[in-house]
């Protein structure tokens, strides 16, 4: 395990529900090292997606401390959080969130263009080739299978050279073989580019491919374990 990348100290999150305030995260303590692979498991409604949103800078915290690369994230405003996401984090969702009016190539190039990166289209072509989609660069999302769309989403995520990849049930809408390919590509990004990988899953087998498993229950960490992979690392 490398230097600490993410540190949560006693993080609480309360949101306003229809029937009053709802406690969603109830005192999370979590430390994730740079380059680590971590799975978050837990029943539906236990706060997995919310925790990912906090770590991805999409959602603030009500109490406690969240630091990223030793930088306090708790007081950042919307603009600073947007910059933080752009520079450090890529999120892969279960539904792929591709823009329907853009080709695969444009979908991958767009965030790089917005971030002012050099040669976004050449880079997008490379990233699409790396996920095996050289032949599909001009296709629109509606012309691609679910697995292909998820590979475009992954290429788009990796093109930004993230320090952290967050994946929320990334294989949930895919069949086994197709999902397995996505998983392989995410772990390759961890291995080859040193990206830290934090993924939410229902799949114990997938969780077992990570170095560490964090089990959530009712917005709290119920258990943490180092896997065989983690012990071998
Ligand atoms: P999981 O991903 O583990 O299924 P979530 O993080 O999506 O769980 O949700 C945790 C709990 O927080 C659930 O009970 C959910 O209904 C509630 N919740 C999520 N988002 C909101 C919100 N914006 N307002 C109120 N309650 C929410
Ligand atoms: Mg969820």
Q: Is the pTM value of this prediction over 0.85? A: yes
Q: Does any ligand 1 atom lie closer than 6 A to the CB of residue 24?
A: yes
Q: What is the pLDDT of residue 2?
A: 57
Q: Does any ligand 1 atom lie closer than 6 A to the CB of residue 42?
A: yes
Mutate to test the pocket of ligand 1, among 24, 46, 202 (most ligand atoms within 8 A of CB): 24
Ligand 2 centroid to 24 CA: how many Å?
12
Work out the average pLDDT over 154-173.
91
Q: Does any ligand 1 atom lie closer than 6 A to the CB of residue 114?
A: no
pLDDT digits (tens, 9 = 90+) for 41-82: 999 999 999 999 999 998 999 999 999 999 999 888 889 988
Q: What is the distance between the alpha carbons of residues 62 and 204, in angstroms, rounded to a whole number?
A: 31
Q: Which of 199, 221, 202 is nearest to 210 (CA)?
A: 199
Minimum CA distance residue for ligand 1 atom 18:
24
Q: What is the DSSP string of 175-222?
A: -HHHHHHHHHHHHHHHHHH--EEEEE-S-HHHHTTSSEEEEEETTEEE
* Percentage, residues of the chain above pLDDT 90: 77
Minimum CA distance residue for ligand 1 atom 14:
45
Q: Give the number of C-alpha atoms closer than 13 A to the C-alpha of residue 106, restricted to the C-beta side.
A: 10
Secondary element (H or E) of residue 129: helix 120-130
Q: Does any ligand 1 atom lie closer than 6 A to the CB of residue 129?
A: no
| Strand 4-17 relative to strand 63-68, pairing | antiparallel
Q: Residue 172 — pLDDT band, cuts 50, 70, 90?
A: confident
Work out the average pLDDT over 130-141.
95
Q: Which of 25, 62, 66 is nearest to 42 (CA)?
A: 25
Mutate to test the pocket of ligand 1, among 14, 16, 47, 200 (most ligand atoms within 8 A of CB): 47
């Amino acid at each position: 395990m490398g230097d600490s990348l993410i540190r949560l100290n006693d993080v609480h999150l309360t949101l306003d529900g229809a029937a009053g305030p709802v406690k969603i995260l109830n005192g999370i303590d979590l430390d994730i090292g740079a380059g680590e692979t971590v799975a978050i498991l837990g029943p539906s409604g236990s706060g997995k997606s919310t925790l990912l949103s906090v770590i991805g800078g999409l959602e603030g915290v009500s109490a406690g401390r969240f630091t990223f690369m030793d930088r306090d994230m708790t007081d950042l405003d919307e603009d600073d959080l947007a910059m933080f996401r752009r520079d450090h984090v890529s999120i892969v969702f279960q539904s792929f969130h591709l823009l329907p009016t853009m080709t695969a190539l444009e979908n991958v190039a767009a965030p790089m263009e917005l971030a002012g990166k050099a040669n976004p289209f050449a880079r997008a072509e490379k990233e699409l080739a790396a996920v095996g989609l050289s032949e599909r660069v001009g296709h629109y999302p509606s012309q691609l299978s679910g697995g292909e769309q998820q590979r475009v989403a992954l290429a788009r995520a990796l093109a930004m050279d993230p320090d952290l990849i967050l994946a929320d049930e990334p294989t949930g809408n895919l069949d086994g073989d197709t999902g397995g390919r996505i998983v392989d590509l995410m772990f390759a990004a961890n291995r080859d580019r040193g990206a830290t990988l934090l993924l939410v899953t229902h799949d114990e087998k997938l969780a077992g491919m990570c170095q560490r498993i964090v089990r959530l229950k009712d917005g709290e960490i119920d258990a943490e374990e180092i896997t065989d992979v983690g012990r071998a690392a």
